[in-house]
Amino acid sequence: MQRQRGIALITVLLVFALVAVIATEMLQRGQLNLRSVGGLVETRQTYYYALAGEAFARQLLARDIVERNSTTDTLIEPWAQTKDQKPFEIDNGTMQIEIHDLQGRFNLNNVVDAEGAKRDVAVEQFKLLLTALQLSVNYASEWADWVDIDQVRSVNGAEDADYKGYLTAGHFEADTSVLRLLHSMQPQDYAKLAPHVTVLPAGTATTININTADAAVLRSIMPEALATQVVARQQSGGYRDLTEFQAAGLTTEIADVKSSYFEVVVTVNYLNRWQRVRTVLRRNNNSGTAVTFDVLSRVRSPLIDDSE
């Protein structure tokens, strides 16, 4: 009888031990699930803060036209000062907003026309930019061959037969990172070139805003001495029109004093979760009071510089 009682006690203890193990495992899994859900919620909240920063940037760009009635875009306007401002304080974190004028950069898609044929003027402009940056001008030929529709190799260029494992695009591109695929492109050269170039919508060649372009980009469309003069003028508000430059032979097909394409970069730190969102905007209706925006691209990424 006592033996049976002992067996029963042992059985009860085993059951309790098993229940305790199961309960502990369920508790641990529940905690992991809560952490996982919490992480997803925090990540999503970080993204929403980034979208709020993008909306603020749109307001700045719209007010530049509606309130200031501006017919030019310059480096002394509020939107251009965002990168130098301290990050905004948000609940449990910070948010940094930067607005860049993409028409202050060379549009890589300019090297071909709507039919995919090379535009020699733009290719030469690209070569001048590379020269100003002390990079190989062969990159311009390779890029032109990359996006043009034919398979005729340019001098110092590269077509499908020169690549192993992949082919040239044969059409307009949507991201500057494609430069890394060029036949002879070196990582350090891409890092040096990337801040001076962009890819804007295909079809119509975009102009360079002389009020926002840096010295290297300006030297791709005008003599070095004149570019130096323009950079100095930018600090006091730039130029209101192109009259001075038309007299020097600079046409409105290459240059302008206003812009329509901007990149908004929002970097958010929320509860020690970092996220960067890059958005390319096209600002429409650059006169009057009706200002609208088209989102051409929006990329979420970790806090890693695209040029690295």
Q: Residue 5 falls within a domain, yes or no?
A: no
Residue 122 to residue 135: CA distance in whole angstroms: 17
Q: Residue 151 falls within a domain, yes or no?
A: yes
Q: Residue 161 falls within a domain, yes or no?
A: yes
Q: Residue 9 falls within a domain, yes or no?
A: no
Q: How confident is the model at residue 245 (pLDDT cuts 50, 70, 90)?
A: confident
pLDDT tens digit string along 6-20? Answer: 666 677 677 777 777
What's the average model confidence in pLDDT over 87-99? 94
pLDDT value of residue 308: 41
More confident site: 250 or 50:
50
Q: Residue 76 falls within a domain, yes or no?
A: no
Report residue 262: phi and psi, to 5°.
-135, 150
pLDDT value of residue 306: 41
- Contact between residue 106 and residue 196 where contact means Cβ atoms under 8 Å apart: yes
Q: Residue 32 falls within a domain, yes or no?
A: no
212 lies in which domain range? 105-254
Per the rule left: phi > 0, alpha: psi between -120 and 50, beta: everything else, 199 is beta
Q: Between β-strands 273-284 and 208-209, what pairing exists: parallel, antiparallel or unpaired?
A: unpaired
In this predicted structure, the answer to whether residue 124 has a pLDDT above a threshold of 90 is yes
What CATH code is carried by the domain that includes residue 234?
A: 1.10.40.60
In this predicted structure, the answer to whether residue 130 has a pLDDT above a threshold of 70 is yes
Q: Residue 175 falls within a domain, yes or no?
A: yes
Q: Residue 89 falls within a domain, yes or no?
A: no
209 DSSP β-pair partners: 256
Q: Between β-strands 106-107 and 197-198, what pairing exists: parallel, antiparallel or unpaired?
A: parallel
Number of structural domains found in the chain: 1
Q: Which of 128, 202, 121, 116 is nearest to 152 (CA)?
A: 116
Report residue 154: phi and psi, to 5°.
-75, 165
pLDDT tens digit string along 255-307? Answer: 999 999 999 999 999 988 889 999 999 999 755 568 899 999 999 876 544 44
